[in-house]
Amino acid sequence: MMKIFFISASLSMALSVIFGAFGAHALKEKLSPEMLLVFETAVRYQVYHSIGLFIVTFFIHLFPNANFNLVAWFFIFGILIFSGSLYILSITNIRWFGAITPVGGLFFIFGWLLLAWKTYKFIL
């Protein structure tokens, strides 16, 4: 599993750079300022949680008995749902994609809370 999480984090960071550059150059003139801000929020949260996924992968390696796998899956699904829905919303302007975004946010929150709990229980 650790290999899958590390590769997922690496690919997600690469996509963050690609999407960030795409937003800054190709979409700057095509999107409204509001939708460009939405796109930038998607990129920013993807970066934050990709870094989080690297940290969790490191913890999985250091503390195999703590089973941080669910934290990693929460981050992956959060990236896909939160950032993915914002990317689609900003490019298509289909507003109902915004209703999906909070589900991804919940995955992020659950991931961070579970990371805190597992760190407290198994590491500290």
Over residues 100-117, the mean pLDDT reads 98
Is pLDDT above 80 for 118?
yes
Q: Which pTM does this prediction carry? A: 0.95
The overall average pLDDT reported for the chain is 96
Q: What is the pLDDT of residue 1?
A: 86
Q: How many CB atoms lie within 10 A of CB 116?
A: 12
Over residues 82-103, the mean pLDDT reads 96
pLDDT band at 119 (very low <50, low <70, confident <90, very high): very high
Burial string for 99-115 (b: 16+ CB within 10 Å, else e) reads eebeebeebbebbbebb
